C-alpha cells in the first residue's frame, strides 16, 4: 500500500497505484493540495520518497474511486515561479498594479 504525507502533516492512507495515478477508495478534495505540496513524503511499500516541490495534475472519479496525479515541478516551472515572485515584489515596491 501507499501513503502520502503532505506539507501540513495531512496523510492520505491506503492508496493504490496505477501508473502515475494514486487511487483512493474515499473522497479526495482537490483543495487539500493547495499550498500543501512543498514537502511531500510518498511511502510506497515501506520506502519513502521525499519531494520538495510538487503540483496536482488532476483529481478524477472512476468507479466510486478517486484517482489523482501529483508531479514534481520542472526546473522551468520553478524558474517561472521565481521570476513571477520577483516581478510582483518589484511592482509592489514601485506601487504598480500588474496582472500576472
Query: What residues of the chain score a pLDDT lower than 50?
Result: none
pLDDT-above-90 percentage for the chain: 78
* Inside any domain, residue 55: yes
Domain that holds residue 54: 2-73
Per-residue pLDDT at 100: 63
* Inside any domain, residue 43: yes
- Considering all CA atoms of the chain, what is the largest pairwise distance in Å, rounded to the nearest integer? 53
* Inside any domain, residue 28: yes
Number of domains in the chain: 1
| DSSP H or E run through 87 | helix 75-93
* Inside any domain, residue 17: yes
* Inside any domain, residue 45: yes
Nearest-angstrom CA–CA distance, 97 and 14 = 46
* Inside any domain, residue 92: no
pTM of the model: 0.81
Amino acid at each position: 500500500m501507499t501513503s502520502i504525507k503532505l506539507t501540513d502533516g495531512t496523510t492520505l492512507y491506503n492508496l493504490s497505484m496505477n501508473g502515475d495515478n494514486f487511487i483512493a477508495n474515499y473522497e479526495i478534495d482537490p483543495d487539500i493540495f493547495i499550498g500543501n505540496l512543498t514537502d511531500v513524503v510518498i511511502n510506497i511499500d515501506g520506502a519513502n520518497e521525499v519531494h520538495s516541490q510538487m503540483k496536482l495534475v488532476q483529481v478524477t472519479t472512476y468507479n466510486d474511486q478517486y484517482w489523482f496525479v501529483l508531479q514534481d515541478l520542472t526546473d522551468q516551472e520553478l524558474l517561472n515561479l521565481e521570476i513571477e515572485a520577483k516581478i510582483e515584489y518589484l511592482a509592489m515596491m514601485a506601487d504598480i498594479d500588474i496582472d500576472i
